[in-house]
Copies of this chain bind each other. A is one copy, B any other.
């Protein structure tokens, strides 16, 4: 019951960068600050840049910058950028024959929870996440 580790990494990086979204952070700094595997994080950053969540600046004195204001970056977009978001819409039991149209008794209770979670992801911005000083003690 959690986002993939990759999604969590992505959220952490973006959260960190949200502190000062004008500053250019080279990957090396982010790796050191967040203690995430060097190459894995770099690859992740490239992915995020291709999805327009960060902007990459190549060459010397380059790095990564947030491409939008933290208020406009939603967790849902980050997750959708790095993993298959469809997964979050499926049946919790893994059945395929049924859906909203053919609900089991569980569905009535599951669907609202699922929808709440998706809405949470869609409505929560990085600015919201960053409000907690505890989290940001990297």
Give Cα A103–Cα B134 distance, bound, in whole angstroms. Answer: 8
Q: Find the B residue at minimum CB distance from A91.
A: B2
Chain B contacts for A107, CB-based, 8 A: 132
**Contact status A105-B120, CB under 8 Å:** no
Give Cα A95–Cα B128 distance, bound, in whole angstroms. Answer: 15
With beta carbons under 8 angstroms apart, the residue of B5, B109, B128 that contacts A105 is B128
CB neighbors of B among A69-93 (8 A): 75, 87-88, 90-93
CB neighbors of B among A21-68 (8 A): none
Q: In the complex where A3-B92, A92-B2, A106-B129 touch, is A134 in contact with B8 (Cβ < 8 A)?
A: no
**How far does the Cβ of A133 sit from chain B's closest Cβ, in whole Å?**
9
> Can you list 18 residue pairs at the A/B interface with Cβ under 8 Å?
A1-B87, A1-B88, A1-B114, A1-B117, A2-B91, A2-B92, A3-B92, A3-B94, A12-B93, A12-B94, A12-B95, A93-B135, A102-B132, A102-B134, A104-B128, A106-B120, A110-B120, A113-B120
